[in-house]
Structure 1
Amino acid sequence: MSRNLSWTFASELFISIGAVATLFISARALGPAGLGILALVESFIRIVDLLVRLEPWQAVIRYGIQAQERGDRAAFLRLVKLSILIDMAGGFLSGMLCMLLAGIVAPRIGLPDESGAQYIYLVAISLFFSLRPTSIAVLRIFDRFDRLAKVDMLTTVLRLVLTLIAWQTGMGVWGFLGILLVQNLLDRALCFGFAMHELRRQGYRGVRQARARAAIKENPGILRFLWNSNFNVILRQSANRFDVLALGALMNPTAVGMYQLGKRVMNRVQKLAGPVRQTIYPELSRLWEQRRIPQFTRLMAIVTVSIFLLQMVVAVPFMLNVEQVIALVFGPQFAGAGTVMNILLMSSIIFASGVALNPALLSMGKDNLLVRVTTLSTLVFAASFLPMVHFFGVEGAALSNLFFNLSWTIGCTLVFLRAKRALD
């Protein structure tokens, strides 16, 4: 696991640096309003994709590891075939829905009347090629986290270089949206190519001939697990995306740009904990399947404490000097975004400290309880968002995000501790 963690952490650190550099260039080139338009388009497309397309990678990892433990190669191939079909169907549905809704939604979320729908059409093309979830499952099961890391680093560098070119040539919003499309297409194509190559290298051949329907029959509970694992993500990510769209509808692209600046920095801090979540999920699943409970608990404790300390080291110095950093890095037009950014950074510290709870509860088969906790947290977010924005503006949206992550982390911790006591 240490090799996988090293690869994913190094790549995430590299990606975070590249993403902040890309954000710096985008903010300088587009200003708050242009950055807000970019955020609104990306958020709408990801929301539709999130609501329509079920990502099968978590289910494939869980049931694929069980097939590996049994030594059943044919069953593993059937799972992969089922995953590919789910990805293809979901990508088609989400892409079509984005294009059908673009003309209706664009003016209602603050996008320009004359070009807002066209912005959405362009970026939505990438949804028709959504095979990354299957690729993630295959490469993680075979411990090829290095392949995923290389793809992510390559596409990060590509986006950074293209963004720099777009800035220097004055391409405007269209150029930055085109860059997003190119990055998404390249990322998905490379991941899928590496995954299929790894399958063949491991001696798994015949995925095209495999019978996907049989995978449903021979893995009882897979559809329930697929739905619950995705519904949990849908709730979490919806709150993380709907706030941008709601802010656009309630205020304007400039306000969205200020908020998006804070969210992007917050997401980078959260993603520093992402490698841990990615690498420990297969490991936790194996430990739970083998009923090695003390090792399972010890791994959870080490991960939680380590991530909290890392978050504090990275985030606190930034928070103490946030206004100066914003003025220096992103420009004077973003002055006043410091309070928003600090609230969102506090939110990210809370969430990232409990990032291991999600894979732990899935590994323990507590997906139903995980969904309940996320549902309750989403209700907290939804109930607080409008009043908070009404009274505090952009800062209120950030506070709602903080309430969501705080309630989710507390709820998941209580579920985990209760499940652990039941085993003792």
Structure 2
Amino acid sequence: MSRTQDLRGAVDGGSGTNASAHSLGELVRSRIASIAHLLTGNFGVAILMFASISLAARALGAAEFGALALILAVGRVSERLVRFESWQPLIRYVAQEENSGDAQSLSRLYAFGLLLDICSALLAAVLAISAGLFLGQFFGLEADQLHLVAIYACAIALNIRGMPSAALRMAGRFRTLAYIQGFSGLLRLLGTLVLLARGDGLASFVLLWTAAQIFDAMLFNLAGFRALRDQGVPNPLRASWRGLRQRYPGFLKFAFSTNLSSMLRTLTHEVDTLLVGALVGPTGAGLYYLARRIAKVAQQAGDLVQTVVYPDMARVWTGVAWRNMSKIVTSVQLVLAALALAAIFIIFLTGEPLLVFALGNDFADLLPLLLAQLVAVGLILHAAPSRSALLAMNRPGLVLVVAAAATALFFAVALLAIPQLGPLGGNFAHIAFGLFTAVCLDIAMWRGIGARGASEKP
């Protein structure tokens, strides 16, 4: 039996108990290896990003760096509020459709996701410009800085990722996903060095961040279309876009549900920087943004885990080997727990001298914020596999309800804690959000597995 057939056996059930167990072991080892590639690439990209941010912080100072953080946050919030996570319904529906062997149907399905991506990207750019002009000063931006949001909106309009992301994931191109962002990260770092040497100001750094993101989106789309071509799927740009809703009923409902879940996550993962800026000013927002960006190295591991395991979970749950779901989730959660604990331990021991060396004495108060944020990230990492499992079970509505309740809890804690504790209050709000989400999603996932087991007993 080939290795590919072995992995498929874990999804389809294998030929027997020993074969199934062996196949499951191969599947888990293969996916952990893929996660390792993604984490390696993610860590490299994070180093490049941290180097760029630290140089930008030194070049701009605390106040102007805070303004840069607020400009980027306005753009990201606008993007994530209206962006459809089209890769999630695409993977769910492609997993069902690929067994038919109809390449034209798959092309139309990917075209459906691409259409959602394009519309939401353009809408997000318009929203970012409007938010910058009308609300920028409320968040702490100066009047002469508001036009910079419109510059960054150009990158948002071209940031089309859902469809190519689904294509890469379904093709198993995890190494591509792992390392492709390194090119734009290197471009951003080299540009930052040039701007630092020239003594350029805030506008130049906004232009640099915009150009780097556009470059990254272009590479990402090229890789995605190549993955489709290699799988024998015709170019979605040439597929008919007529009657897509009728051809794939339920797709839009799934997309809207995951979009609402993403919107709620945005309120806690991007609006939080704007909230800190509004309550304590741009300098505090800059400190908070740095803590969030550094901790995001670990948090992105959760997204990478979903990148790897979600397609397999979707296939497992629709096959006869659905009982393997619990073993996959448990294995991945153990890996993520080790990652989170290692990150907290390393930062606790070495964080203060490293932060002062990298950022300067203006950012010496960053360590408590970073440690608190890493605790929150550990909880969010734990919830990532169970969230993927629930989406594979076709339970996006339940995920949405949990996200809504966790978001309400986040803002209740944030509005009470930030005025009292400053930026650290935002980190405590993230801890409350992560704990609530992890507990609720775990309970829902195990109940779902148990309910299916009870319903299939003879």
What TM-score, normalized to structure 2?
A: 0.88
How far is 1:392 from its partner?
A: 1.5
CA contact (8 A) 1:384 1:400 kept: yes
CA contact (8 A) 1:48 1:94 kept: yes
Q: Distance in 1 between matches of 2:264 and 2:434?
A: 12
Residues 13, 391 of structure 1: alpha-carbon distance in 2 compared, 3 angstrom cutoff:
same
User: Which stretch shifts more, 1-10 or 220-229?
Assistant: 1-10
* Amino acid aligned to 2:53: L
2:112 maps to which of 66, 82, 93: 82
1:344 maps to which of 373, 377, 383: 373
CA contact (8 A) 2:225 2:235 kept: no
Encode CA deviations 1:196-245: one digit per residue, 9 max, x unaligned: 22322332225334233433223232111111112111111221111111
Encode CA deviations 1:165-204: one digit per residue, 9 max, x unaligned: 2222211211221111111111111111222223223322
CA contact (8 A) 1:347 1:401 kept: yes
Q: Distance in 2 between matches of 1:90 and 1:273?
A: 24
2:50 maps to which of 14, 20, 37: 20
Whether 1:93 and 2:123 are equivalent positions in the alignment is yes
User: Which stretch shifts more, 7-16 or 399-408?
Assistant: 7-16
How far is 1:399 from its partner?
A: 0.9
Aligned residue number for residue 204 of structure 2: 175
Residues 5, 101 of structure 1: alpha-carbon distance in 2 compared, 3 angstrom cutoff:
closer
How far is 1:44 from its partner?
A: 0.7
Q: Distance in 2 between matches of 1:67 and 1:379?
A: 37
| Correspondence list, 1:341-380, <5 A | 341-380=370-409
Aligned residue number for residue 328 of structure 2: 299
How far is 1:100 from its partner?
A: 2.9
Aligned residue number for residue 289 of structure 1: 318
Whether 1:30 and 2:53 are equivalent positions in the alignment is no
CA contact (8 A) 2:66 2:287 kept: yes
Encode CA deviations 1:22-64: one digit per residue, 9 max, x unaligned: 2221222222212211111111111111122323111111101
* Amino acid aligned to 2:37: W
Q: Distance in 2 between matches of 1:343 and 1:273?
A: 18
Q: Distance in 2 between matches of 1:360 and 1:220?
A: 22
1:9 maps to which of 39, 45, 54: 39
SS at match of 2:426: helix
Whether 1:125 and 2:154 are equivalent positions in the alignment is yes
How far is 1:348 from its partner?
A: 1.0
Whether 1:42 and 2:72 are equivalent positions in the alignment is yes
Q: CA RMSD in A?
A: 1.7
Q: Distance in 1 between matches of 2:115 and 2:250?
A: 18
How far is 1:101 from its partner?
A: 3.3
Whether 1:325 and 2:354 are equivalent positions in the alignment is yes
Aligned residue number for residue 144 of structure 1: 173
2:224 maps to which of 177, 180, 195: 195
User: Which stretch shifts more, 62-71 or 5-14?
Assistant: 5-14
Q: Distance in 2 between matches of 1:230 and 1:207?
A: 22
Q: Distance in 1 between matches of 2:219 and 2:134?
A: 34
SS at match of 2:137: helix
How far is 1:288 from its partner?
A: 1.0
How far is 1:102 from its partner?
A: 2.2
* Amino acid aligned to 1:15: V
How far is 1:6 from its partner?
A: 4.0
Encode CA deviations 1:365-392: one digit per residue, 9 max, x unaligned: 1111111111000000111211111221
Whether 1:161 and 2:190 are equivalent positions in the alignment is yes
User: Which stretch shifts more, 45-54 or 97-106?
Assistant: 97-106
Encode CA deviations 1:297-352: one digit per residue, 9 max, x unaligned: 11111000111012212221312443333223221111222221211111111111
Q: Distance in 2 between matches of 1:334 and 1:306?
A: 32
Q: Distance in 1 between matches of 2:198 and 2:422?
A: 35
SS at match of 2:236: coil
SS at match of 1:62: helix
SS at match of 1:293: coil
How far is 1:267 from its partner?
A: 0.7
* Amino acid aligned to 1:356: P
How far is 1:412 from its partner?
A: 0.9
CA contact (8 A) 2:228 2:235 kept: no
How far is 1:4 from its partner?
A: 3.4
Aligned residue number for residue 391 of structure 1: 420
Whether 1:253 and 2:288 are equivalent positions in the alignment is no
SS at match of 1:352: helix
SS at match of 1:236: helix
**Residue ranges of structure 1 left out of the alignment (5+ in a row):** none
Aligned residue number for residue 272 of structure 2: 243
Aligned residue number for residue 340 of structure 2: 311
* Amino acid aligned to 2:422: G
Aligned residue number for residue 66 of structure 1: 96
1:234 maps to which of 263, 266, 270: 263
**Residue ranges of structure 2 left out of the alignment (5+ in a row):** 1-29, 454-458
Encode CA deviations 1:113-156: one digit per residue, 9 max, x unaligned: 12x22110110011221322111111111112233333211111
Percent of aligned pairs sharing the same letter? 25
CA contact (8 A) 1:32 1:256 kept: no
* Amino acid aligned to 1:64: V
What TM-score, normalized to structure 1?
A: 0.95
CA contact (8 A) 1:380 1:404 kept: yes
How far is 1:5 from its partner?
A: 2.9
Q: Distance in 1 between matches of 2:152 and 2:143?
A: 17
CA contact (8 A) 2:74 2:132 kept: no
Q: Distance in 2 between matches of 1:313 and 1:130?
A: 33
Q: Distance in 2 between matches of 1:299 and 1:111?
A: 46
User: Which stretch shifts more, 53-62 or 360-369?
Assistant: 53-62
